[in-house]
Amino acid sequence: MSDTKTIDTMLEVRDIKRDYELPGGFMKPKKTLHAVKGVSFKLERGKTLAIVGESGCGKSTLARMITFIDEPTSGELIIDGKTMDTRPGHLTSEMRQKVQIIFQNPYGSLNPRQKIGDVLGEPLAINTDLSPAERRNRATEMLIKVGLGPEHYNRYPHMFSGGQRQRIAIARALMMNPKLLVLDEPVSALDLSVQAQVLNLLADLQDEFNLTYVFISHDLSVVRYIADEVMVMYFGEAVEYGTRDEVFSNPKHEYTQTLFKATPKADVESIRARIAAKKAASAA
């Protein structure tokens, strides 16, 4: 709590590391894989940090550590001014309620045999002593909040489209009134039209509940739209970290520049340039 001076820091990560032991075999020694090699950042309440990087760069491992799914090998995790004791058995349900995660694939993260109402009511049944009727009310309210309706309460996940399922996953994450939401590629499985709806919903919810987002993505156009701060990860290290405008206007690291170059540009100017280049190539 000592370093919360003027900025209201929601999440602080100090030199966090995660190693995985790869099992050896006969005549093959054990190997250690450094998935995250010492990452530090601070995030203000109500802001969004986007973490960008290619697959295997450790961004999802970082997300799993922030949400206590994985235990960090070393480093400190400070959430809402409190240093988290991430050793197994030392986590209180109160700490867990503050942080929630939304996964990439809404098809895989919902139990196909559980009704939506039960999906949303389950966190309440476990963590609170609300009566079934109250749980039902809360779940219905949340359904309406994320743009679904009370009539969806008794339906199963397969009866929903991808965008609707992602709304359900968001609703489930919000049931315990978390303060920090980790979104692991929440829109990459969605169509462009649905993507816009889900991003708008996330922005609305952030305004309403003053939520802090850690938004993991590899789509730079989405990041540019939603993020306040951007961190670029490459092979387990944060190679670039700054405000959105700093990173987008002046990318310093080589990998960030490659990333920007690789992102398809959908503006008229670049299409013109491409067609002109093609004409020149075919004429030559």
Partner 1 sequence: MSLLQIDNLTVEFETANGWFRAVDGVSILVNKAEVLAIVGESGSGKSVSMLAVMGLLPWTAKITADRMLFEGKDIQALSGAERRKLIGKDIAMIFQEPIASLNPCFTVGFQIEEVLRIHLGLGKKERRARAIELFKQVGLPNPEERMNAFPHQMSGGQCQRVMIAIAIACNPKLLIADEPTTALDVTIQKQILDLIMDLQARTGMGLIMITHDMGVVAETADRVVVQYKGRKMEEADVLSLFENPKSNYTKALLAALPENATGDRLTTVSAFFDGNPEPAPSAGASAPGAQA
Contact between 266 and partner 1 per CB under 8 A = yes
CB of 126 to partner 1, least distance (A): 34
Whichever of 106 and 117 has its CB closer to partner 1, that residue is 106
Contact between 271 and partner 1 per CB under 8 A = yes
Whichever of 139 and 232 has its CB closer to partner 1, that residue is 232
Distance CA 148, CA 160 (A): 10
Distance CA 136, CA 121 (A): 7
Contact between 145 and partner 1 per CB under 8 A = no
C-alpha closest to that of 108 among 169, 175, 191, 52:
169
At 273, phi and psi to the nearest 5?
-65, -40
Contact between 224 and partner 1 per CB under 8 A = yes
Task: State the CB neighbour count (10 A cutoff) for residue 175.
Answer: 21
Chain mean position to CA 5: 27
At 90, phi and psi to the nearest 5?
-100, 0
Whichever of 38 and 162 has its CB closer to partner 1, that residue is 162
Q: Which of 38, 194, 242, 248 binds partner 1 (CB under 8 A)?
A: 194
Distance CA 206, CA 137 (A): 22
Q: By three-state DSSP, how is residue 275 classified?
A: helix
Contact between 166 and partner 1 per CB under 8 A = no
Distance CA 11, CA 226 (A): 18
CA neighbours closer than 13 Å in the CB half-sphere of residue 121:
17
Contact between 243 and partner 1 per CB under 8 A = no
Contact between 278 and partner 1 per CB under 8 A = yes
Q: Which of 221, 252, 254, 257 binds partner 1 (CB under 8 A)?
A: 221
Whichever of 91 and 203 has its CB closer to partner 1, that residue is 203
Which residues inside 30-49 make contact with partner 1, applying CB under 8 A?
A: none
Footprint on this chain of partner 1 (rule: CB under 8 A): 54-55, 162, 191-197, 199-200, 203, 218-222, 224-226, 258-259, 261-268, 270-272, 274-275, 278-279, 281-283
